[in-house]
Structure formats: C-alpha cells, structure tokens
Amino acid sequence: MTNDTTGSTTTLETSPVLARRGERWRELATRQESLLILVYAVMVLAFSLLNPRYFSTASFGNILQDFAPVMLMAIAQTFIIITGGIDLSVGAVLGLSGVSAALAIRTTTESGMPPALSITLGIVAALLVGLAVGVVNGLLITRVRLAPFIATLATMGVCMGTTLVVTGGVQIAGAPKEVVLLGNTRYLEIFTVPLLVVLAILVIAWLALSRTRFGRHTYAIGSNAFAARVAGIDVDRHLMKVYAIGGVLAALAGLFVYFRLGSGSPASGRGGELQAIAAAVIGGISLMGGVGRVTGTALGALITASVLSGLILIGIEPNAQQIVVGALIAVAVAVQGIGRGNSRT
C-alpha cells in the first residue's frame, strides 16, 4: 500500500517537471534564432551542392569579411527600427565616410606624415562624417518633425551626391600599404582586425539593448512613444542618440570597406541600406518597432552576406543580387505578419 502511494506521488511530481521541460524545448525550437540557424544550415548545404568551393575555410573567411560592414549597418538599423524609425542613409554614409578617410589619408601621406598618424586622422575624419549625418538625421526627426523615412531619404541623397562631387566619380587610391595590411591580414585564416572589432561591437550592442536603461528606453519608445514620454523618458534626446550611433556605425562600416579595398570608391555602400534592413528584419526586428534582439540581427546579417556570396559563386550576376535581397525582406516581413496574426487568434 505504501509503495503504491509513493509511486503515484512520484508520478504526480514528475509530470509537471516533464511538462515544463517540454515547453522549454518547444520554445527553444520555435525561437527566431533557432529557426535562423536551421535556415542557415540548409542554405549552406544548398550552395555547397551547387559549388563545393562554398564549403571551405577560404570561402567562410570571405563571407565574414563581407559580413563585417553589413553587421555594423544592421546593428545601426536594429537600434533605430526598434524605436519605430528607419535609416535609409546608412549605405550612403558608408560610401561618404570611406571616401573621406581615403582623401584624408592620401593627403596626409603625400605631405610626409607617418602612416600611423595618417591612418588615425583618416579614421577620425570618417567617424566625424558619420556622426554629423547621424546628428542631422536626429535633428530632422526630432526638431523639424520629419518622418524618419523622409529625413533619412534626404540625407541619403545628399551623401550620395557629395560623394560623387568629391571624388568626381572615380576611386580615391594612394593608400599606404599599412591600410591594406590592417584590413586584410588574417589570423587563423578567418579573422581580421576589423572583423574582431565588429564582433566586439556586436557584444556591446547586445549588452546595451538587453542589460541597460538605454535598451529599455529604446524598446519603450518603439512600443509606445506617448507612454514613454508619460513615463518620463526624454524621447527626442534618446532618438538623437540612436541616430547619432547609427551614423557612427555606418561610418565604421565605410572605414572597414576602405581598409579591405585599399581605396575609397564612390560606389561603396550602394544598396547597403537594403542589406542592413534585410539583416534586421530577417533577424526578427519588427518594422512596427519595439520588438527584436541583436542576436537575431547577427544571424540575419550572416545569412544576408552568405546568400550574396553564394550567388556570386554560382554565377548570378551582381544586378540580380538586389532582387534576392528585396525578396528576402518581403518574405521576412510576411512571416512576421503571419506570426502577429496567429498570436491574436
């Protein structure tokens, strides 16, 4: 009699434990990041079957070099989209900042300045350009009260035009060899200094969004800006910070492209805003604001860079790649819409 009672009690006690474990496994299986990892694995398999060179250390290293600037722009978009905004200028800022660094480094190098100091001044010039554009975006949105789409569309046009005027439509060469070495020297056949910097920024961004007041305010503004103001959050000041950070991150992306190529190209960054938005949206960042994680954005950026690299290896022409990026955005937004519809029912 005692044994039967003990057995039934044990069964009753373990049933809730097993149920909780099952719920945790189901939650893990349906999380955005888990689904993205599965999509990435299938994509790698598909491209590897079409071209075996895709599945190699050299190919993965190249993908990560392409991933670095996309990741920086995608982090910028993540902060901004979570607040309920958008930044169409990140690609143009990438191009203008890279050209600015190229001009500063070439001019100071030709004047006899040591390479280390010349490169430092080039980095400062690029970051100041990005900061300036980010501040202008913030002012247009918080003071002039332009919609983020219109404000950043205007600055995108200004940056693209300025880049063409400054360069005359040609590349800015004349970089010292230290620039190319800094951008292309690989460690463990994969990592470069710019890539390691990007990974460090990724960790900082994750901590900022998930562990700080800055992150809580960012989500609060995107969820309900009016309620955020009532709660005492200085929404305009916070948006100024977010767009300024976005400009600086886009400028860093321009620097890393310049370090990799060894020249400033006026064509750099074209379509970068689409890649950044695609990475964020694929990663689960809702265009409605207030939802998303940096970890999802990182996987979205990796998928975006991997898709573009795979398309090149299987012989798809570059002009068609933007079609694929646009399609990825449409599919990701559609999936988010289906998910919201299911959650309401």
Tokens standing for 12? Answer: 């009753």
pLDDT of 24: 59
More confident residue, 5 or 126: 126
Tens of pLDDT, residue by residue over 78-105, are 999 999 999 999 999 999 999 999 999 9
User: Is the predicted pLDDT of residue 18 greater than 70, yes or no?
Assistant: no
- Given the structure tokens 């280390």, which residue do they identify? 116
Tokens in use for 53? 């060179």
What is the average pLDDT score of the chain? Answer: 87
Binned at pLDDT 50, 70 and 90, residue 304 comes out as confident
pLDDT of residue 248: 98
Residue 238 scores a pLDDT above 60: yes
What is the pLDDT, as a whole number, of residue 96?
96
Which pLDDT tens digit goes with each residue over 310-319? 888 888 777 7
The first and second tokens of residue 60, run together, are 């993965």
Cα distances from 58 to residues 11, 196, 272, 295, 311, in angstroms, run 54, 17, 24, 25, 16
CA-to-CA distance for 119 and 108, rounded, in angstroms? 9
pLDDT for the residue numbered 345: 47
Q: How many CB atoms lie within 10 A of CB 180?
A: 15
Measured CA to CA in angstroms, residue 93 lies from 32, 36, 127, 132, 256 at distances of 30, 29, 10, 10, 13
| pLDDT score recorded for residue 40 | 85
Tell me the two tokens of residue 267.
């064509």
The overall pTM is greater than 0.95? no
pLDDT confidence band for 20 (50 / 70 / 90):
low
- CA 312-268-106 angle, 5° bins: 130
DSSP 148-217: HHHHHHHHHHHHHHHHHHHHTTS-B----HHHHHHHH--BTTTB-HHHHHHHHHHHHHHHHHHHSHHHHH
Q: Which residue has the higher pLDDT, 159 or 333?
A: 159
Residue with more model confidence, 156 or 62: 156
Backbone phi and psi for residue 264, each to the nearest 5 degrees, phi listed first: -100, 115
Residue 339 confidence (pLDDT) = 53
- Return d(Cα 28, Cα 210) in angstroms, integer: 18
Q: How far apart are CA 36 and CA 303, in angstroms?
A: 8
pLDDT score, position 7: 53
Distance between CA 190 and CA 199 in Å, rounded? 13
The secondary structure of 236-305, three-state, reads HHHHHHHHHHHHHHHHHHHHHHHHHHCCECCCCCCCHHHHHHHHHHHCCCCCCCCCCCHHHHHHHHHHHH
> pLDDT for 260-290, tens place per residue?
999 999 988 888 998 899 899 988 899 899 9
Mean pLDDT of all residues in 31-56? 85
- Among the residue ranges 3-12, 25-34, 120-129, 202-211, the one predicted with the least confidence is 3-12
Mean pLDDT of 318-336: 73
On the question of pLDDT at 151 being above 90, the answer is yes
Q: How far apart (Å, rounded) are the C-alpha atoms in residues 48 and 60?
A: 12
Work out the percent of the chain whose per-residue pLDDT is above 90: 57
CB 72 within 8 A of CB 252: yes
Say yes or no to pLDDT of 156 above 60.
Answer: yes
Strand partners, 191: 187
Pairwise CA distance, residues 309 & 165, whole Å: 31
More confident: 21 or 117: 117
pLDDT over 90 (residue 324): no
